Structure 1
Amino acid sequence: MQSALRVLVCLHSFEPGGVERVALRLCKAWQTAGADVTVLLGRADGAMRDEAPALDYALYSSGTISTARFETLWMIFCLWRRVRAVRPDVIFCAGNSYTVVAVALRLLLGRACPPFVAKVSNDFDRPDMNAVARRAYRPWLKLQGRLIPHWVAMAGSMRDGIAVALDIPPERVTVIDNPVLDGAEARRLAEARDLAVRYGAKGRLFLSVGRLVPQKRFDLLLAAFARAGGPDDLLVIVGEGPCRGALQALAHRLGIASRLSLPGHQSDTASWYARADLFLLSSDYEGVPGVVVEAMAAGLSIVATRSSAALDELLGTDSLGRSRFGQLVDRGDVDALAAAMARPGAAPDRHSLRAQAGQFRVERAAPAYLRLLRMAAYPDQNQGEWGNPECAPSTGMSTSEPAYVSD
């Protein structure tokens, strides 16, 4: 009988983010399929704590010291300690921000380090970096390519770019669609919008969802809304983060403070997608934006910046640059974004939108990930039951509290 695959996943905390949310969803599916999954946490706080699935969580105490400001160094120490005590078969690196941890552990442990599988969660093209940072970034990516053996692209259009940036053969990059949703979530988003009734709404509701951080360029979105929004229109940005004060101040300067709503982090965003007229993405860089997939699952048309190679694929863009499911504009172009918001075009067919979003479900992705994880852990063995796509894990989620193991 084949032993359970021991998978270790490291996350800084339960702070809300697409990388962490997808990682926890995958961990739950892998556990349901029979894998032995442990999530190593840097700290146990964060807005997603109450909604986290029941998994085996490991947490090392830092005493009275908060590790938030040096979370990467703390995670390197915790992972080194954990792997020396309980060696996993494979370690899953949930996104770009965790690859530094993977590189550090490889350098610390050398050949004794378990294999890593790393998911590329954001495009490697970083327009936010200055020239000096970009020169340092290129060799840093190549170092990751040398030390991390297995990589995951969240869409087929990202694969070649990842291989070039890491200076690795494309065969080391596996394409697995980003599991943003499970079946129940997709149905809930669709039903909420189909049943929504807007009473007395005079203007349009523009919606964006994401952490209030510089990457998301909500400053650009506010400027575009100031140009394109009418007196009865409302811009809602669901999310929390350090840029809240700056965005509120900018809204006052632009004269749109009364037409901007920042409701903070919401564990259930279905009601916002249900009421919105248009979904907006203004980021400088992304991977496969989960919020765009959620909006499509709800049946919303999209206006987005070209912040990822995957967006053309996601929005069904043809060779002439026409997108079936919305509009793409150049990143950083406030005039183009405002024009697209003012004239979003005809709404796409909801059935087609939802079918496109359906490929990004955990029921499809989890078995593919398990195949790759087992291949990384046991490269000389045949794939076993973990890789059988016909044995997709159940998406039933326990409502019990997470169990913490403190060391």
Structure 2
Amino acid sequence: MRIVIPIHSFEPGGVERTGLNLAAEWQRAGEDVVVVLGRDAGATRPTAPQLNYVTRPEPIATHWWETPWMIWCLFLWLRSNRADVLFCAGNTYGIVCVMMKLLLGRRCPPVIAKMSNDLERREMPALGRRFYHLWLRIQGRHFDLVVGMAEPMRDEIAEFMAVPQNRITVIHDPSLTGPQFARLSRMERPARRSDGMHVVSIGRLWSQKNYGVLLQAFAQVRRPADRLTIVGEGPERPRLERLVAELGIADAVDLPGHVHDTAPLLEQGDIFALSSDYEGVPAVIIEALAAAMPIVTTDCSRSMASLVGHGKHGLLVRVGDVAQFADKLDAAREFVVCAPSTRAVAEQFVLDRAASTYLAAMHELSDRDDASAHKVRPDLPARKSSRA
């Protein structure tokens, strides 16, 4: 079975990392996996799995219009090559896959789409939220199978995308490889340090992550020996650096940029913090659960309450509420988690389990599909990049 996956680039991101890890597992299982790549560049390129990546020369730099470029690249490839299943790795790629349905019609392979973000989007203005929900319903009409990353997403998909239950499945998001889970689950949580707490957060420096809330909350409850490390890179860096200076906490905050191996930080940290406006099932929360870290997080997705065990594994905060975030951050100094319980939650999100479940769903989709309507010119070879 040939599985085709559109990926913008090797820039760090949970959707892309998980998509490529799944692709590598499917390839190891004997499937023919093709990654249509927008740009053969990015910080994670040296560590990306060895897959069949296909690219086109960029006429100009495409970083700022990567979605139209991806639509064009994927359309040209699918128009001339056979594909059995098109995998939409996350919400970011929803428009790309909908456009393939519109442009290719019955020649488009069946689409299995993973919903990687919150669908309700309570932080949006009412009018914007209405249009967003309309867009979700449009996607729901075009995707052959919609995947939720945790059980609470099943009803969310049905409600906001108007997808019938027979086209919804739940596959726990494969946030961790087996070796990653084993490494994190071996970590011994240190006793609360008397010399202060180390708060760790990991994610792109994007507006979605709302790190301003975390910085302001940390500034309110900071004690002399406390530290905050925010790992990630992105366009919000200049604004965040200005805010750090304005709050007078520059001596206690570290913004190291992209870090390939974050496990040592999770081991050294005392509390994991997430201040996002919206998420799906964040891989960083699964990593923190595997490492048995106390968590302070905004209630930024329908799945978050269950992930933190409704208060047993972490503390929930209203989205955007600086004062409440500060209170919970301070309370987390004394918060103790049950490591076996948090790791049992994290173990549901290990790669090999999800990869085989996805493959079963893809084979069922492909078997149901009328081959003559979807497999185009199988004699034409894929055009490989230098990383193929």
What TM-score does the superposition give when structure 1 sets the normalisation length? 0.88
Partners of 2:41 and 2:190 lie apart in 1 by 34
Aligned to 1:172: 167
Deviation, 1:44, is 0.8
1:131 aligns with 2:131: no
1:360 aligns with 2:326: no
Aligned to 1:398: none
Aligned to 1:51: 47
Kindly provide the amino acid, as one letter, of the partner of residue 385 in structure 2: Y
1:274 aligns with 2:262: no
Summarize the Cα distance change of 1:62–1:380 in structure 2 as closer, same or farther, 3 Å threshold.
closer
Aligned to 2:320: 332
1:96 aligns with 2:91: yes
Structure 2 contact 52–387 (Cα < 8 Å) conserved: no
Matches within 5 A, 1:243-392: 243-317=236-310, 323-344=311-332, 345-379=334-368
Deviation, 1:201, is 7.6
Structure 2 contact 271–296 (Cα < 8 Å) conserved: yes
Kindly provide the amino acid, as one letter, of the partner of residue 205 in structure 1: H
Partners of 2:282 and 2:342 lie apart in 1 by 15
Question: For this pair of structures, how many residues does the alignment match?
Answer: 374
Aligned to 1:387: none
Partners of 1:342 and 1:134 lie apart in 2 by 33
Q: 1:111 aligns with which of 106, 114, 117?
A: 106
Kindly provide the amino acid, as one letter, of the partner of residue 102 in structure 2: L
Percent same amino acid at aligned positions?
Answer: 45
CA displacement, residues 63-111 of structure 1 (integer Å, 9 cap, x when unaligned): 4x11111111001110110001112101000000101011111111111
Deviation, 1:138, is 2.1
CA displacement, residues 258-291 of structure 1 (integer Å, 9 cap, x when unaligned): 1110011111001100000100011110000100
Deviation, 1:326, is 1.0
Aligned to 1:384: none
Partners of 2:62 and 2:109 lie apart in 1 by 25
CA displacement, residues 121-173 of structure 1 (integer Å, 9 cap, x when unaligned): 00112234333322322221111111112100000011111111111212211
Partners of 1:185 and 1:348 lie apart in 2 by 20
Partners of 1:195 and 1:237 lie apart in 2 by 20
Summarize the Cα distance change of 1:14–1:197 in structure 2 as closer, same or farther, 3 Å threshold.
farther
Partners of 1:125 and 1:266 lie apart in 2 by 31
Partners of 1:268 and 1:380 lie apart in 2 by 41
Partners of 1:261 and 1:290 lie apart in 2 by 21
Partners of 1:281 and 1:137 lie apart in 2 by 24
Secondary structure of residue in 1 paired with 2:135: helix
Deviation, 1:190, is 3.0
Deviation, 1:404, is 2.5
Structure 1 contact 159–175 (Cα < 8 Å) conserved: yes
CA displacement, residues 197-249 of structure 1 (integer Å, 9 cap, x when unaligned): 99x98211001000000101100000100111212100000111110110010
Structure 2 contact 7–35 (Cα < 8 Å) conserved: yes
Partners of 1:380 and 1:241 lie apart in 2 by 41
Partners of 1:130 and 1:380 lie apart in 2 by 40
Partners of 1:201 and 1:404 lie apart in 2 by 53
Aligned to 1:213: 206
Deviation, 1:342, is 0.5
Contiguous gaps of at least 5 residues in structure 2: 371-383
Q: 1:10 aligns with which of 6, 11, 16?
A: 6
Kindly provide the amino acid, as one letter, of the partner of residue 32 in structure 2: D
Partners of 1:196 and 1:363 lie apart in 2 by 30
CA displacement, residues 21-66 of structure 1 (integer Å, 9 cap, x when unaligned): 1001100100011110011100011111011011110011114x11
Q: 2:73 aligns with which of 48, 72, 78?
A: 78
1:32 aligns with 2:49: no
Deviation, 1:315, is 1.3
Summarize the Cα distance change of 1:59–1:298 in structure 2 as closer, same or farther, 3 Å threshold.
same
Partners of 2:272 and 2:296 lie apart in 1 by 6
Kindly provide the amino acid, as one letter, of the partner of residue 336 in structure 1: Q
Secondary structure of residue in 2 paired with 1:16: coil
Structure 1 contact 122–287 (Cα < 8 Å) conserved: yes
Aligned to 1:400: none
Kindly provide the amino acid, as one letter, of the partner of residue 52 in structure 1: A
Partners of 2:48 and 2:5 lie apart in 1 by 14
Structure 1 contact 61–406 (Cα < 8 Å) conserved: no
Aligned to 1:235: 228
Structure 2 contact 12–43 (Cα < 8 Å) conserved: yes
Secondary structure of residue in 1 paired with 2:335: coil
1:189 aligns with 2:175: no
1:66 aligns with 2:61: yes
Secondary structure of residue in 2 paired with 1:194: coil
Secondary structure of residue in 2 paired with 1:271: helix
Deviation, 1:314, is 1.1
Structure 1 segments of 4 or more deviating over 3 A?
195-198
Aligned to 2:378: none
Contiguous gaps of at least 5 residues in structure 1: 318-322, 382-402
